[in-house]
Amino acid sequence: MGRAVVQAFAAEGANVAALARGRDGLDGAAKDVAAQGGRALALDVDVADASAVDHAAEEVERELGPIDVWVNNAMTSVFAPVHELSADEVRRVTEVTYLGAVNGTLAALARMRPRDAGTIVQVGSALAYRAIPLQAAYCGAKHAMKGFTESLRCELLHEHSGVRVSMVQMPALNTPQFDWVRSRLPRQPQPVPPIYQPEVAAQAVLYAAEHAPKELWVGGSTVATILGNRVIPRLLDRYLARTGFDSQQTDQPVAPDRQDNLCAPVAGDHGSHGRFDQRSHPRSLQLRARMALGALTTSTLGKSAKTSTRSRTRRNA
């Protein structure tokens, strides 16, 4: 998904810095930006290392100028029942998926707050509201990110800060993560249908960077999951207990030499799409309607207040 986000910002004329562990993928992302005429900075960074993230942010501003938008998207997971998880595995998922977002947020705030400007986009998930079996570590990290972001939002409002924060709650996406996520399942992991292409997620992140809604729910399945959990949580417990194991596995057995990226990246430039193109939706009508409503509201408020905005010809993401 991060790759799709890089491509979306580049298409809008942004200069883009990408932070990740895999050198091959970073170089591919840099080429995507250059192809759109933007400047790219590819930094080999493990977001679980707070000091490394802060140093990377410093390098970004030195090379590309002030950071306008910071997107926290790094994640990893382990597909396994809780009783088969080790403490080290849970710690690692938490360090990347939750603390990685914390580290990125702190690095961004250190630079945005003095300027009283900038937008932080937290990539969340429907699983930040409704946990599912076999992904306890990941679900816990997304729940934690939601709580952290809500606290930060209140503090920024208290300060009357010009820094904005938005959380985008994603549906199941067709990304390569299911080929490299650590798994103890007997069959190959898969996203829970319905599945959306990563470009849908990137479109949502781009909208959040521009308009900074408190939250943006992406896909009808995300809306149904979040609202359903408010109304019938116990019924969802039973439903997921019955269906949540099979729905996260294909019919294919796991290869004995399968690699995972929990502690180190899997070599190669894997792009943005996974193996599920034939089963994935290229668009979300729900997201389109939500963005159209948001644009209409913004336009109406802008006219009534008779305000004008200044746009930059090139911004940094």
Tens-digit pLDDT string for the chain (317 aa): 999 999 999 999 999 999 999 999 999 999 999 999 999 999 999 999 999 999 999 999 999 999 999 999 999 999 999 999 999 999 999 999 999 999 999 999 999 999 999 999 999 999 999 999 999 999 999 999 999 999 999 999 999 999 999 999 999 999 999 999 999 999 999 999 999 999 999 999 999 999 999 999 999 999 999 999 999 999 999 999 999 999 999 999 999 899 999 999 999 999 999 999 999 999 999 999 999 988 666 655 565 555 444 434 456 67
**Which structural domain, as residue segments, surrounds residue 142?**
72-257+270-295
Task: Report strand pairing: 280-281 vs 195-196.
Answer: parallel
What is the rounded CA–CA span in Å between residue 36 and residue 31? 9
Residue 304 sits at the vertex; the CA angle it makes with 301 and 306, to the nearest 5 degrees, is: 105
- Confidence at residue 299, expressed as pLDDT on a 0 to 100 scale: 55
Domain of residue 88, CATH code: 3.40.50.720
The closest alpha carbon to 126, from 191, 208, 80, 47, belongs to: 191
Is 215 within a domain?
yes
Is 186 within a domain?
yes
Is 264 within a domain?
no
Cα Rg of the chain (Å, integer):
19
Is 52 within a domain?
no
The closest alpha carbon to 100, from 65, 131, 71, 60, belongs to: 71
Which residues fall within 8 angstroms of residue 310, CB to CB, at 6 or more apart?
none
The label of the residue with tokens 């938005």 reads: 166
What residue ranges in the chain does DSSP mark as E strands? 16-20, 40-44, 69-72, 78-79, 118-125, 163-170, 172-173, 182-183, 187-189, 195-196, 215-217, 249-253, 280-281
Total structural domains within the chain = 1
Is 50 within a domain?
no
Is 195 within a domain?
yes
- Confidence at residue 305, expressed as pLDDT on a 0 to 100 scale: 53
pLDDT single digits (tens) 148-172:
999 999 999 999 999 999 999 999 9
| Helix residue ranges per DSSP H, 159-218 | 177-180, 198-211
What is the rounded CA–CA span in Å between residue 292 and residue 40? 31
